């Protein structure tokens, strides 16, 4: 690994969803001269969400990608140095902390704010990966358009699955929704909406066995896990909406995490077990996982970083 290209920064922010951008806004205003690396998905999960109706200040709702453009512009206007690049390795053994970007550029930082978010989970089927991009997707909002007027399937039982099923129902002739148990985890209002939509067909106690197709998705084979009965349903698209996992792998050696890999922060703060390293947004929040709570924790992380740097005489 080439470490010759190194740069010293005051405050490094890793990630660019609501948490990362809000941290950048606050850190810039505090004159911490933050450098933010956007990661693999600039704008985070909101870039794969359509209508955001629950973020305060947007009375008519807003498209997720548009909202993230607004966040980025505001952070830039405040003076944040926003860059493309993915953090690939860290060394938190001593100050200044070392973070490698794209395996080549070394950043040394007095304070680090981790806002790397979470990513979609997959079922783990070989056929799912083989046909990923050929009818299989983890983002109905990104790819639903391609299946206008066709039959599709979606697997999942939470709010995201319900939201995506409703989105698909507006485009597709039939949405076959597979729920592993005899009930959904989604909020009551979302469940009611799904069940009231005539072209969403719910299959309870159902596992996905195989996605069928050579060059593109043609059908899905499902199994009822109570009766053992299997059936094959012709579909053109298959959407996976079974939850998320935190993007925290590169920090495992250094930071305390729960069994699912969410970074642990001291209650009421963004502080991790290493002083000067802070975590905000979905990488440390498996309970709320909302844009507004992520933004709030990004604000906390920047304020915590400002206080830390001040106490250390680095600010």
What is the rounded distance in angstroms from the CA atom of residue 125 to the CA atom of residue 275?
41
Catalytic residue check, 142: yes
Question: Which letter, b or e, does each residue of 256-280 get, where b requires 16 or more Cβ atoms within 10 Å of its Cβ?
Answer: ebeeebbbebeeeebbbeeebbbbb
- The catalytic residue among 66, 81, 139, 159 is 139
Q: What is the CA radius of gyration of the chain?
A: 21
What is the rounded distance in angstroms from the CA atom of residue 107 to the CA atom of residue 92?
12
Catalytic residue check, 299: no
- The catalytic residue among 2, 11, 110, 142 is 142
In SS3 terms, 117-165 reads as CEEECCCCCHHHHHCECCCEECCHHHHHHHHCCCEEEEECCCHHHHHHH
- The catalytic residue among 143, 282, 285, 304 is 143
DSSP alpha helices (H): ranges in the chain? 18-29, 64-78, 126-130, 140-143, 159-169, 188-195, 291-311
Catalytic residue check, 139: yes
The catalytic residue positions are 139, 142-143
């Amino acid at each position: 690994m080439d470490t010759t290209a190194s740069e010293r920064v005051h405050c490094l922010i890793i990630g660019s969803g609501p948490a990362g951008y809000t941290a950048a806004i606050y850190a810039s205003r505090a004159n911490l001269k933050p450098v933010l690396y956007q990661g693999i998905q600039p704008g985070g999960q909101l870039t794969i969400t359509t209508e955001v109706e629950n973020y305060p200040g947007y009375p008519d709702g807003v498209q997720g990608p548009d909202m993230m453009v607004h966040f980025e512009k505001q952070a830039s206007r405040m003076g944040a140095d926003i860059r493309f690049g993915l953090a690939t390795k860290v060394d938190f053994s001593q100050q200044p902390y070392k973070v490698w970007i794209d395996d080549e550029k070394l950043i040394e930082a007095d304070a680090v704010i981790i806002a790397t978010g979470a990513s979609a989970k997959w079922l783990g089927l070989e056929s799912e990966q083989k046909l990923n991009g050929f009818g299989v997707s983890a983002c109905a909002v990104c790819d639903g358009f391609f299946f206008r007027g066709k039959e599709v399937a979606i697997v999942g039982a939470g709010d995201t699955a319900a939201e995506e099923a409703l989105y698909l129902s507006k485009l597709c002739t039939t949405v076959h929704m597979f729920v592993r148990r005899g009930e959904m985890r989604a909020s009551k209002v979302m469940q009611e909406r799904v069940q009231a939509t005539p072209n969403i067909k719910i299959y309870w106690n159902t596992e996905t066995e195989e996605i069928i197709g050579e060059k593109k998705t043609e059908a899905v084979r499902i199994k009822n896990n109570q009766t053992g009965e299997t059936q094959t349903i012709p579909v053109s698209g298959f959407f996976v909406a079974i939850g998320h996992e935190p993007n925290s792998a590169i920090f495992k050696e250094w930071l305390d995490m729960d069994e699912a890999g969410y970074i642990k922060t001291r209650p009421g703060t963004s502080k991790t077990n290493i002083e000067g390293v802070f975590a905000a947004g979905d990488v440390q929040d498996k309970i709320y996982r909302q844009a507004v709570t992520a933004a709030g924790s990004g604000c906390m992380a920047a304020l915590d970083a400002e206080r830390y740097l001040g106490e250390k005489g680095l600010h």
